Homo-oligomer: A and B are copies of this chain.
Amino acid sequence: MRARVFVMLKPSVFDPQGTTVADALHTLGYASVTAVRQGKYFELDIDAKTEDEARRIASEAADKLLANPVIESYRIDIEKTEAAKR
């Protein structure tokens, strides 16, 4: 099973990378991009029987390692079938 974990800086935390990307896009002429936030994205292949189990493992991994709760929050999507695609 595949868990997709998105880690983003909390909205209250200034995001230097996202700001830089936004600046660069404006320089390239994309004025309509009003804001950019940059985060991390993980694909975890998990050997789990159920979706719940996969989610539990992924969120433990996120809590312990993938995200720093001081500055980041995360979201998890489970894709049952994706793993097979590759």
Contact = CB atoms under 8 A, between A and B. Distances in A.
B41 A38 contact: yes
18 contacts: A6-B41, A18-B43, A21-B42, A21-B65, A25-B65, A28-B64, A32-B47, A32-B48, A32-B57, A33-B44, A33-B46, A34-B47, A36-B42, A36-B43, A36-B45, A39-B41, A39-B42, A41-B41
B61 A30 contact: yes
Q: How many copies of the shown chain assemble into the complex?
A: 2
B43 A8 contact: yes
Given A40-B38, A44-B36, A30 B60 contact: yes
Given A30-B60, A37-B43, 12 more contacts: A6-B41, A24-B65, A25-B61, A30-B61, A32-B47, A33-B47, A33-B61, A34-B47, A36-B43, A38-B40, A40-B40, A40-B41
